[in-house]
Structure 1
Amino acid sequence: MATEKNTPSQHERPISPFMIGPYYKPQFSSILSIAHRASGVFLSVFGSLLMIYWLVALSQGPAAYHNAMVWIASVPGMLLLAALCFAIYYHFFNGLRHLIWDTGRMLEIEQANRAAMVVLFCSAVAALITIVKVGGLI
């Protein structure tokens, strides 16, 4: 039987993340966790749609393929490719961070936040290098 000492008080209970607003302040780590899931959805949806568009254009002949490549080389197409590039690197590096957590390392808040900053930095640098190299800017 639970005694008064063993039952947690109302003040010790964790707050549900669904109480966003005045009761819940998102932590940096929780925001990046949501961003990891969002990047996975973004890659699945837009990466698949872009690949299907490209493959259908390829199967429709040279004129359709040329039109697809013109759209991909346009500003909206390049922005989509840049976003996909960053999302791939972010999802990869953040997945590595989660694998490190699975080993029981870097679970302290300060370490987790530092690792999150490293993930963001590495993702941005890797995406920038890829965009510059593939874009022929170097």
Structure 2
Amino acid sequence: MPGAAERPLSPHLQIYRPMLTMMMSIVHRITGVALYFGTLLLVIWLVAAATSPEAFDTVNGIYGSWLGLLVLVGFSWALIHHAIGGVRHFVWDTGAGFGPQSRELLAKLTIGGSVALTLLLWIVIWAVKG
């Protein structure tokens, strides 16, 4: 078929200008996948707690290391970001927030809110922990 190779078969990322809402859609999917791995971490912690004090101390030691804390902060951000993104989608399900300014505002609020709530969560955790 002559000329078939000269045109794309479907729209591609090279055609679309990246927009904040497009990036938010991608991040929402990534955080959803990250939540599966974070839930596995929770299961490991619960199994260790049910197994023995030594296993529980081992897992707490790993999770309490700088790398473990970094993973836990990332997991908590993914959880919060995904939840706020779900609220954003719920707003859209009502038929609201589809205008260009509304979409951008909701996307920015999702980013800012998830970062702010994650920081607040970990400030409270460190304050309670002592």
Query: Does the TM-score normalized on the shorter chain lie above 0.5?
Result: yes
Q: Of 32, 38, 41, which residue of structure 1 is paired with 2:33?
A: 41
Asked if the contact 1:17–1:24 (Cα under 8 Å) also holds between the matched residues in 2, the reply is no
Select the structure with the greater relative contact order (CA < 8 A; seq sep ≥ 6): 2
How many percent identity over aligned positions? Answer: 29
| Structure (1/2) with the larger helix percentage | 2
Whether 1:55 aligns to 2:46 is yes
CA distance in 2: counterparts of 1:98 and 1:32, whole angstroms: 11
**What is the one-letter code of the residue matched to 1:24?**
Y
The two structures have a TM-score, normalised by structure 1, of: 0.80
The change in CA–CA distance for 1:18 and 1:70 in structure 2 (over 3 A counts) is farther
Aligned partner (choices 50, 56, 63) of residue 72 of structure 1: 63
1:121 Cα deviation from its structure 2 partner:
0.8
**Aligned AA for 1:106?**
G
Extract unaligned runs of 5+ from structure 2: 1-7
Partners of 1:49 and 1:103 lie apart in 2 by 33
Looking at CA atoms only, which structure, 1 or 2, has the larger radius of gyration?
Answer: 1
Q: Which residue of 1 aligns with 2:24?
A: 32
1:133 corresponds in structure 2 to: 124
2:95 is aligned to: 104
Moved over 4 A (4+): 15-18
In structure 1, the partner of 2:13 is: 20
Distance apart, 1:62 and its partner CA: 1.1
Q: Give CA deviations for 1:83-134 in whole Å, capped at 9, x if unaligned.
A: 1111111111111111111111110122101111011111111110001101
- Shift in Å, 1:16: 8.6
Q: CA RMSD in A?
A: 2.1
Check 1:17–1:102 CA distance in 2 against 1; reply closer, same or farther (3 A cut).
Answer: farther
- Tell me what 1:8 maps to: none
Task: Give the Å deviation of 1:18.
Answer: 5.7
Structure 1: segments with no counterpart, 5+ residues: 1-14
Task: Confirm or deny that 1:89 pairs with 2:80.
Answer: yes
Describe the shift of the 1:52–1:90 C-alpha distance in structure 2 as closer, same or farther (beyond 3 A): same
